[in-house]
């Protein structure tokens, strides 16, 4: 009799400034979804081949030179994190690993695929209401016939908002998956291949909402499916790689 394979391992990147409090929240959502979390951050070796799926978390602006944007002095950037996440997303694509981007992570997915950002959404969308809250006070429209619609259902969703940047030009192989009432992009997704989904909000803060938990369940399910299609590998990180797992 074959024994069931263990929980899929999901690598999670975070900000150096806030990772100590954000990683546990995302890790909890991964655990509730049936996965196991591994912390990827600057200063430790991290490779997409060591996990079954990837979550690129929020926090920090992305350096504008990655998409030929204008450098803004007020931006809070971390070039080392930019480089780490760019490489991990590229590796994940090459290896067929599913990816979830949260806020900044959605933007990084878009940039890796050749897209660009609005650096200040309130300059571009002058009528947009300024929001900065972890509570679900913004309504987003889920685009029909998308992967996100299959995951969350087709109805509008209530989400939080902790961003001042957003996707402007879509990257190659991506499509719009959700927008808000002002037309600001709120989710993007891959049109083919393994699940690659970026949401502009923070579902880890909305763990009490069934539809938000469904996002993590979809990632873990995709990671399990991708993993089970590969030859079984030994558990644990490769030699020389230090990991923090929950």
Q: What are phi and psi of 220, to 5 degrees?
A: -65, -40
Please confirm, yes or no, whether 204 is among the known catalytic residues: yes
Catalytic residue among 103, 143, 163, 189: 103
* Neighbouring C-beta atoms of residue 236, cutoff 10 Å: 11
Residue of 41, 163, 204, 205 marked catalytic: 204
Q: Is 103 a catalytic residue?
A: yes
Query: Does the annotation mark 143 as catalytic?
Result: no
Helix/strand/coil (H/E/C) assignment for every residue in the chain: CCCCCCCCEEEEECCCCCHHHHHHHHHHHHHHCCCEEEEECCCCCCCHHHCCEEEECCCCECCHHHCCCCCCCCCCECHHHHHHHHHHHHHHHHHCCCEEEECHHHHHHHHHCCCCEECCHHHHCCCCCCCCEEEEEEEEEECCCCHHHHHHCCCCEEEEECCCCEECCCCCCEEEEEEECCCCEEEEEECCCCCEEEECCCHHHHCCCHHHHHHHHHHHHHHHHHHHCCCCCCCCCCCCCCCCEC
Active-site residue among 41, 118, 163, 202?
A: 202
Active site residues: 103, 202, 204
């Amino acid at each position: 009799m074959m024994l069931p394979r263990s929980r899929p391992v999901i690598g999670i990147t975070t900000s150096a400034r806030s990772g100590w409090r954000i990683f546990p929240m995302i890790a909890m959502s991964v655990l509730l979804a049936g996965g196991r979390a591994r912390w990827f951050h600057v200063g430790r070796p991290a490779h997409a081949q060591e996990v079954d799926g990837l979550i690129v978390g929020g926090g920090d602006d992305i350096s504008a030179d990655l998409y030929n944007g204008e450098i803004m002095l007020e931006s809070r950037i971390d070039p080392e994190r930019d480089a780490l996440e760019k490489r991990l997303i590229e590796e994940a694509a090459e290896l067929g690993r599913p990816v979830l981007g949260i806020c900044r992570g959605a933007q990084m997915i878009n940039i890796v695929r050749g897209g660009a950002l609005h650096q200040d959404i309130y300059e571009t969308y002058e009528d947009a209401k300024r929001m900065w809250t972890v509570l679900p006070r913004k309504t987003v429209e889920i685009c029909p016939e998308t992967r996100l619609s299959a995951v969350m259902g087709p109805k509008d969703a209530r989400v939080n908002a902790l961003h001042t940047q957003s996707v402007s030009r879509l990257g190659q192989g991506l499509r719009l998956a959700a927008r808000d009432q002002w037309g600001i992009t709120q989710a993007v997704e891959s049109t083919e291949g393994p699940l690659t989904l970026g949401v502009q909000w923070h579902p880890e803060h909305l763990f009490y909402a069934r539809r938000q938990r469904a996002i993590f369940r979809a990632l873990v399910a995709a990671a399990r499916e991708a993993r089970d299609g590969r030859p079984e590998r030994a558990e644990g990180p490769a030699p020389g790689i230090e990991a923090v797992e929950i």
